[in-house]
Chains A and B, each alone.
Chain A
């Protein structure tokens, strides 16, 4: 366990030299990245540039082939996903992964941390967990009303639209009281008006609950109106970084996006 590097000291998330290869494919090829507290940071790049893979490495789905990752000052490199969750870092998936045989509401309920009712012996006696369950239920319902999922809250999560699945995943992630949320294309499949509302909610969550965000998004015209900072990935490497208005002017970025 090493201490985070000097220039990364007060960032919430700090990534240094992370590599992840799949056979010959250099999906992530030496990425340095930091996300300061209470910032909303965008991660963009063409298809296949390694954005989702980087998320998977940070979230513990893959162990990196090289490099280290710190979260909140602690080295989290190679920890399993549930340990990373414990430290307050949660993520959503590019293809939503809600629990299909649970209702949307139950999905949002299952993310809470430290629920004693999840212990098999305590589960037997309701008085151990009833109060906590009531609180969680009330909070979940508030979030559902907030997210526009009310009409489908009682549906099985396999029976809702793709956009609603994205919203469901976000709601589930927020219920974990995270320090930081990583969103993989949150606005995919959501209409422009709703997408803007979604980003406004994200800004509000940052302002009111102090949550830090790292967001992968292809819809730059929406993303750039809300983020503080942007990283651009291409072929596994960060090719540019800066404020949105700086990044759009960067000739390297323009070229990468023109190439498709």
Chain B
């Protein structure tokens, strides 16, 4: 009965075009997964608190908002529309001076009535806002990463994993409890309206262009960083720490460097996350479980493979789409109302599908490949080695075929 329909449903959700929103979402997550992949995929450092470093991007944005955007917006409207201030109970030209005012009624109103309209009209300021936030966020991420990791890098990775996980839980609570961070439970708002200049008047095209640019830079950075002697060292450390130390690698230092770098990139990614995907920033965007979604995406695509990691994000989104469609159709098939929340069923189905994929492709959709430096080219040239890629498979099969024909003749 339903089997055909279910298959139809799956096919439908897999073949329907990705859609602009999903594409943007995917690219934003891809930026985050790439930074996770350096730490986890390449270096084997289980950063279970990744989301906390992404949140650093939001915290930095919030700080820059107060210190850079508010004064500009206040000065501008004090001149052109002083009545905007009286509307929210401020003296013309006055503004919430520091993030400590975040939770207050005025700060939120100021944001909605003055800062957002100002940003919508002043494109350049929005981009300056983003850049400053990215710079501050990266710095913040790197410093927090350093402080957290320093005491434990000498210990086994598990300690680091637990510490970072706990930190992400703690920070999530702090985001609500301490308004200066991101404005408490009400959060804060930025806007992506001005991106429409990048998209010839269409906001979503503009967001797409922006994230493609950010993703491009990030991908290039990560790819350069990993396909290098440094990437080889990371893998060596991941595979066998003692052997790496014996071959002169200072494990604690490399781990620290990698965490600092991964946290820097995560925080910069966090700024993109805020500006392009979730302009209404609330603490729940930074729930600790988001880390595990990112890890699932990475494993799905292929840990330690940059292309794989990106692909994994989209594989995840497709799986999610299928399970969403299935869950929505379920009550219809069963003919009863479900007592269990839909989201729960969808998550269980998603989990099962991910496990199924990993069962058949344990190393991800595209498994890890050799580090590609000039040494790899030299090796291929001199020893004529063909890597296990599509080209390799074709050559291998051709060879088999030739042997088969020879044997027939002989």
Chain B residues within an 8 Å CB radius of A100:
239-240
Q: Is B326 an interface residue (CB 8 A)?
A: no
Of the residues A61, A133, A140, A154, contact of B229 by C-beta under 8 Å: A133
B232 touches A109 (CB 8 A): yes
Hey, which chain B residues are within 8 Å of A124, CB to CB? 221, 224-225, 228
Interface residues on B, range: 35 or more
Residues from chain A with Cβ under 8 Å of B236 in the complex: 99, 102, 110
Given the complex, which residues of B lie within 8 Å of A134, measured CB to CB? 374-375, 378
Q: Hey, which chain B residues are within 8 Å of A59, CB to CB?
A: 246
Count of chain A residues with a beta carbon within 8 Å of a chain B beta carbon: 48
Asked if B353 is an interface residue, CB under 8 A from chain A, the answer is no
With an 8 A cutoff between CB atoms, is B373 at the interface? yes
Report whether B245 and A81 are in contact in the complex, using a CB–CB cutoff of 8 Å. yes
A230 CB, min distance to chain B CBs, angstroms: 25
Asked whether A123 and B374 contact (CB < 8 A) given A102-B236, A153-B385, the answer is no
The answer for the CA separation of A42 and B370 in the assembled complex, in Å, is 37
Interface of B is mostly: helix
Q: How far is B142's CA from A120's CA once the two chains are assembled, in angstroms?
A: 14
A150-B384 Cα distance, complex, nearest whole Å: 11
Chain B nearest CB, measured from A193 CB (Å): 24
A99 touches B235 (CB 8 A): yes
Q: Is A7's CB within 8 Å of the partner chain B?
A: no
Over the window 6-27 of chain B, the binary record of Cβ atoms lying under 8 Å from chain A Cβ atoms (1 yes, 0 no) is 0000000000000000000000
Contact of B374 with A81 in the complex, beta carbons under 8 Å: no
**How far apart sit A80 and B248, CA to CA, in the bound complex (Å)?**
10
> By the criterion CB–CB under 8 Å, are A172 and B247 in contact?
yes
Render B242-253 as a binary contact track against A, CB cut-off 8 A, 1 for contact: 111111111100
Please name the residue on chain A nearest to B375 by beta carbon. A137
Q: How far is the CB of B75 from chain A (nearest CB, A)?
A: 39
Q: Which residues of A contact B374 (CB under 8 A)?
A: 126, 130, 133-134, 137
| Interface pair B248/A102, CB less than 8 Å apart | no
What are the residues of chain A within 8 A of B368 when measuring CB–CB?
A: 101
User: Hey, which chain A residues are within 8 Å of B258, CB to CB?
Assistant: 120
CB pairs A–B below 8 angstroms (22 shown)? A80-B245, A82-B250, A90-B246, A99-B239, A99-B243, A99-B244, A100-B240, A105-B375, A109-B229, A110-B232, A110-B233, A111-B248, A115-B229, A117-B228, A118-B230, A126-B224, A130-B374, A136-B375, A141-B378, A144-B383, A154-B387, A176-B247
